[in-house]
Amino acid sequence: MPDASLRELDTFVNDSLALIEGLASLEDLREAEASLTGRRSPLATWQRSLGALEPDERRSAGARLQEARRTLEEALARRGEALRDVARREKLDRDALALGDVVVDQVLWPLGVGRAGLVARTQRELEDVFVAMGFQVADGPEVESDWYNFEALNIPPAHPARGMWDTFYVDLGDPETVVLRTHTSPTQIHLMEAAVANASLPIHSVMPGRCYRRDTPDARHLATFHQIEGLVVDRAISFADLAGTIETFTRAYFGADIASRLRPAYFPFTEPSAEFEITCTICRGGGCRTCSGTGWIELGGCGMLDPAVLEAVGIDGDEWSGFAFGFGIDRCAQMRHQIADMRALIDNDVRFLRQV
């Protein structure tokens, strides 16, 4: 191979190496491969011209050409690896976005966006049971004055019973104390006041809603929880009406094999008062850890309206009598679905939500 041709080969190799370094895509790389080392490349042309050389010259020129080809092929391979690396990383970035879409499409939509949570569903089911028994459903404020939450319910300031409902006090600079309601019982007062104002007695209502207490959440308590209150004000209402209502509700909601019982208790707004218990739904009455071996679980309180409450709202206790009850909606959900720890209701764990 003449010196001029060898210099040309060196220049070709150096130019080619610079070109390969600058390749920006795998497509450009494939084109460069063909034009630098393919059948129509200068290398191939030189290769073909070897035949015209003397055997010695042919051998050394052939070796130079082989070396040049290997150099270019290695450079092309290295550049190809680098370009494929970039392409892989770009694809990963694109796929990461696509994965976001997959989560929304494949995981969230099949769950049904906007589906009611267990507490909301339980509330609706409870309302249905009471509506079927002839009750109306009413609503009340969650932010109350001290008068509605306590005083009108026969719990004067500094009464020891206030300790039963440790609450969040809200300072609005108001002369009257404002609290987040600790139970749904203040809604009784609103309903009775409205019925007096509109001369629309009797009342047969249930009042579900959110309540707040300064409690530390544990397996059976939440600081924000839900109750459903019941109120009947009518003529000649007796304790038997109360017991029958509780028993009918219990069997309708929990099933025919779950019974209710009333145990004497104290609440300032009812007289006599009772705690209302149902057969433990975990052991079906046999006795287990959840019910401390008694076979019964406390659900709420109830009793005959205290004359002091009727008087506070201006209802004539000689003409009207009534009963009230109140119990936890979250507790109902826990009992009916055997939820070991009530905090599952607010954890928003998809594995829990999917089951309900």
| Binds ligand DAH by CB under 6 A, chosen from 16, 122, 270, 334 | 270
Strands 136-137 and 203-212: parallel
E strand or H helix that includes residue 304: strand 296-305
Which tokens is 163 given? 């300790």
Check residue 321 for interaction with ligand DAH (CB under 6 A). Answer: no
Check residue 322 for interaction with ligand DAH (CB under 6 A). Answer: no
Rounded to whole angstroms, how far apart are CA atoms 26 and 348?
A: 47
Restricted to residues 171-190, the positions that interact with ligand DAH (CB under 6 A) are 183, 185
CA distances from 30 to 4, 45, 133 (A): 30, 20, 81
Binding pattern for the stretch 80-119 against ligand DAH, x by CB under 6 A and - elsewhere: ----------------------------------------
Restricted to residues 185-214, the positions that interact with ligand DAH (CB under 6 A) are 185
Restricted to residues 290-319, the positions that interact with ligand DAH (CB under 6 A) are 300-303
Rounded to whole angstroms, how far apart are CA atoms 156 and 151?
A: 5
Phi, psi of 220 (to 5 degrees): -120, 5
Residue 327: CB minimum distance to ligand DAH, A: 7
| Binds ligand DAH by CB under 6 A, chosen from 9, 324, 332, 333 | 324
Q: Quick one: 33 or 275, whose CB is closer to ligand DAH?
A: 275
Q: Quick one: 208 or 301, whose CB is closer to ligand DAH?
A: 301
Residues 246, 206 contacting (CB under 8 angstroms): no
Residue 123: CB minimum distance to ligand DAH, A: 16
Restricted to residues 273-292, the positions that interact with ligand DAH (CB under 6 A) are 273
Which tokens is 224 given? 């924000």
Binding pattern for the stretch 123-152 against ligand DAH, x by CB under 6 A and - elsewhere: ------------------------------
Check residue 326 for interaction with ligand DAH (CB under 6 A). Answer: yes
Q: Quick one: 46 or 135, whose CB is closer to ligand DAH?
A: 135
Residues 265, 274 contacting (CB under 8 angstroms): yes
User: CB nearest ligand DAH: which residue?
Assistant: 301
Restricted to residues 249-268, the positions that interact with ligand DAH (CB under 6 A) are 267
Residue 96: CB minimum distance to ligand DAH, A: 50
Pinpoint the alpha helices (H) of the chain: 3-21, 26-37, 42-49, 55-102, 109-111, 118-132, 146-149, 186-197, 239-254, 307-313, 329-337, 344-347, 350-353
Provide the β-strand partners of residue 230.
206, 325
| Binds ligand DAH by CB under 6 A, chosen from 246, 325, 332, 335 | 325
Q: Quick one: 76 or 228, whose CB is closer to ligand DAH?
A: 228
- Contact partners, residue 148, CB within 8 Å, separation at least 6: 181, 186, 189, 190
Q: Quick one: 270 or 290, whose CB is closer to ligand DAH?
A: 270
CA distances from 321 to 120, 148, 190, 232, 311 (A): 32, 20, 17, 8, 11
Which tokens is 188 given? 């009784």
Q: Quick one: 61 or 333, whose CB is closer to ligand DAH?
A: 333
Number of residues that bind ligand DAH (CB under 6 A): 13
Residue 225: CB minimum distance to ligand DAH, A: 10
Nearest of 86, 84, 85, 78 to residue 21 by alpha carbon: 78
**Which residues bind to ligand DAH, rule: CB under 6 A?**
183, 185, 229, 267, 270, 273, 300-303, 324-326
